[in-house]
């Protein structure tokens, strides 16, 4: 008993997040939506959990705010113990200015020096780019000009929000500019899906258990499905979304990252570069999309009006106020041409204004080679599936067949289900909290390396080009549905079907 207790307490210690070195967190675009919705609450949680002791937050933005104004807005937004929030905002400051104006950076440098002394933050700097991407380059160039990128025994790291470029060319250009002043170890390309608990669990599940690995290949897996659906539309981000579309917004980054974790070979260790090396192999093995046959593999859609939870929602075009071809839905069929995945289709769908918010990966296994039950149970045996629920209700489910109690050998489907919240004393950590802490700790495992980012842009380039140059069909779907009919055809023509979410 004593041994078990000791083991548990040492495991708990081992599993505690380390405390990062003192640092200043400088947020460009600090008065924007992302900052108030995600970044500041996540940093506050780190403070609440005593991960931040000697630190300051310096918000930078075009809004004309004083330290006091910014603090008051935070006080209004953070819905936590007020006394603690008051202590937190003693660490918070604001600097206004234009991103292409030298004066902003002269003031920034001065303010950083003052705050370093005031908060014992050494001269460690974590810059967060939460601005619209069109000002990334002026900021980077000015940080370089005023030597705010230099480390000299301390750290200077930059978290770059997506979209990282708008296509391969612009992503490479941005990367080139970043590398003029920074080395790869200073660059943190964020993809918040990688910070989600269940996404991280994919590696643990695959490589800390012996039972899955022997069957995790083309011999036993029939196909893989990924659904990432949202019931929300584009809300107040129409300007951004109109120039982006769903392929760039969700597929090029979050979904491809998820897919690589499902598909990678066991990395030699958990060291960041080992994982990135394996991811790159997967991305390079994905069969490229061909311009001419694209419509057989990629379906794009756009929502029309319809009901979600009894409420009538407008069509995308009504929201934008003009005719537009921007896709709010994509369904894709793809193959990974390597020894493990040869011939196994990956079906992916993602969209806005679908019936509900849900992200799930289903590994659908092959059928038993022969049913000995067929004489008295002439119904096809459903294949086994492993369903990884990324959100909500994080967990996973193994779908098996079992005997239905009774005198006959009748089969029924059994769901062996594990839900995080039932098992662990677990308050879901926001992905940003995990990722900001990792950046402060200098851990790039859950960030996207430059070659991985480039390879994923390469993959979507033929799709983007085809959509830009030639009319490819755009299929409409009512808000509150599961997407256009053609997305069903994509999978059903292969004799398979999307997992049924109607009764879940
Ligand atoms: C963002 C996209 O990266 O991810 C949004 O820009 C999308 O359009 C969001 O709504 C989805 O994230 P989550 O964590 O809510 O699934």
pLDDT tens-digit readout, 58-99: 999 999 999 999 999 999 999 889 999 999 999 999 999 999
455 C-beta closer than 6 A to ligand 1 = no
CB of 230 within 6 A of ligand 1: the answer is yes
Q: What is the pTM of this model?
A: 0.93
Query: So what's the pLDDT on residue 7?
Result: 53
- Report the CATH number of the 2-161 domain: 3.40.50.720
Position 316 scores a pLDDT of: 97
Rounded to a whole number of angstroms, the distance between the first and last alpha carbons of the chain is 41
Residue 221 phi, psi (nearest 5): -100, 125
- Measured CA to CA in angstroms, residue 151 lies from 20, 125, 188, 263 at distances of 16, 9, 15, 37
Per-residue pLDDT band at 504 (split at 50, 70, 90): low
pLDDT computed for residue 423 by the predictor: 84
The pick from 132, 233, 249, 329 for probing ligand 1's pocket by mutation, whose C-beta has the most ligand atoms within 8 angstroms, reads 249
Atom number of ligand 1 nearest to Cα 234: 8
pLDDT of residue 145: 96
For residues 460-486, give the mean pLDDT. 92
Closest CA to 115 of 59, 76, 77, 157: 59
Q: Which of 431, 470, 438 is nearest to 195 (CA)?
A: 431
Distance in angstroms (rounded) separating the CA atoms of residues 98 and 111 = 16
Which DSSP category does 370 fall into? S
- Which residue CA neighbors atom 10 of ligand 1 most closely? 230
User: By C-alpha distance, which of 69, 384, 364, 418 is closest to 222?
Assistant: 364
Domain boundaries defined on the chain: 2-161, 194-492
Q: Which of 179, 254, 276, 370 is catalytic?
A: 254
**CATH 3.30.360.10 assigned to 194-492:** yes
Please tell me the predicted confidence (pLDDT) of residue 8.
53
pLDDT for the residue 124: 96
Taking only the tens place, the pLDDT of each residue in 311-354 is 999 999 999 999 999 999 999 999 999 999 999 999 999 999 99
Tell me the per-residue pLDDT of 349-407, one tens digit each, with 9 for 90 and over.
999 999 999 999 999 999 998 888 877 667 778 899 999 999 898 999 999 999 888 88
More confidently predicted of 210 and 500: 210
What is the predicted pLDDT for the residue at 422? 87
CA 119 to chain centre: 33
Mean pLDDT of the chain, nearest integer: 93
Separation of alpha carbons 233 and 303, rounded Å: 9
Q: Please, which pLDDT band fits residue 230 given cuts at 50, 70 and 90? A: very high
Q: Could you tell me the CA-to-CA distances from 243 to 163, 167, 248, 249, 257 in Å, in that order?
A: 11, 11, 9, 10, 22
CA-wise closest residue to 248 among 288, 191, 297, 188: 191
């Amino acid at each position: 008993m004593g041994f078990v207790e000791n083991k548990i307490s040492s495991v708990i210690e081992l599993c505690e997040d380390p405390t990062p070195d003192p640092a200043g967190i400088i947020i460009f675009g600090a008065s924007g939506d992302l900052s108030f919705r995600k970044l500041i609450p996540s940093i506050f949680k780190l403070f609440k959990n005593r991960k931040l002791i000697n630190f300051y937050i310096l918000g930078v933005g075009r809004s004309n705010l004083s330290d006091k104004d910014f603090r008051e807005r935070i006080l209004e937004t953070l819905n936590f113990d007020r006394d603690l929030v008051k202590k937190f905002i003693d660490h918070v400051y604001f600097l206004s200015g234009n991103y292409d104006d030298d004066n902003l950076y002269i003031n920034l440098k001065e303010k950083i020096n003052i705050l370093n002394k005031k908060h014992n933050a050494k001269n460690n700097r974590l810059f967060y780019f939460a601005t619209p991407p069109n000002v990334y380059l002026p900021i980077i160039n000015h940080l370089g000009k005023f030597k705010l990128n230099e480390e000299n025994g301390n750290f200077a790291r930059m978290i770059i929000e997506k979209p990282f470029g708008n296509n391969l060319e612009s992503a490479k250009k941005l990367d080139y500019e970043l590398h003029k002043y920074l080395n790869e170890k200073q660059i943190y390309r964020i993809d918040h899906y990688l910070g989600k608990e269940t996404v991280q669990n994919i590696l643990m599940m695959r490589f800390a258990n012996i039972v899955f690995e022997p069957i995790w290949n083309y011999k036993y897996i029939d196909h893989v499905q990924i659904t990432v659906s949202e019931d929300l539309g584009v809300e107040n981000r129409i300007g951004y979304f109109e120039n982006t579309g769903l392929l760039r917004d969700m597929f090029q980054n979050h979904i491809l990252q998820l897919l690589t974790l499902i598909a990678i070979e066991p990395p030699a260790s958990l060291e960041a570069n080992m994982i990135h090396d394996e991811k790159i192999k997967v991305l390079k093995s994905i069969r490229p999309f061909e311009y001419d046959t694209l419509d057989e593999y990629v379906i794009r859609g756009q929502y029309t009006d319809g009901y979600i939870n009894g409420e009538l929602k407008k069509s995308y075009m009504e929201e934008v106020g003009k005719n537009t071809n921007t896709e709010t839905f994509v369904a894709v069929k793809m193959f990974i041409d390597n020894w493990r995945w040869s011939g196994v289709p990956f079906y992916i769908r993602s969209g806005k204004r679908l019936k509900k918010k849900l992200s799930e990966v289903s590994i659908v296994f092959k059928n038993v080679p022969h049913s000995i039950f067929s004489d008295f149970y002439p119904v096809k045996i459903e294949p086994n599936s492993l369903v990884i629920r990324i959100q909500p209700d994080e967990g996973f489910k193994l779908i098996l067949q079992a005997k239905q109690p009774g005198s006959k050998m009748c089969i029924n489907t059994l769901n062996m289900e594990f839900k995080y919240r039932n098992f662990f004393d677990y308050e879901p950590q926001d992905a940003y909290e995990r990722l900001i802490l990792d950046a402060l700790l200098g851990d790039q495992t859950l960030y996207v390396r430059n070659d991985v980012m480039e390879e994923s842009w390469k993959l979507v380039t033929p799709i983007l080009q085809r959509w830009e140059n030639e009319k490819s069909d755009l299929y409409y779907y009512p808000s509150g549905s599961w997407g256009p009919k053609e997305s069903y055809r994509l999978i059903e023509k292969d004799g398979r079907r999307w997992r049924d979410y109607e009764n879940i």
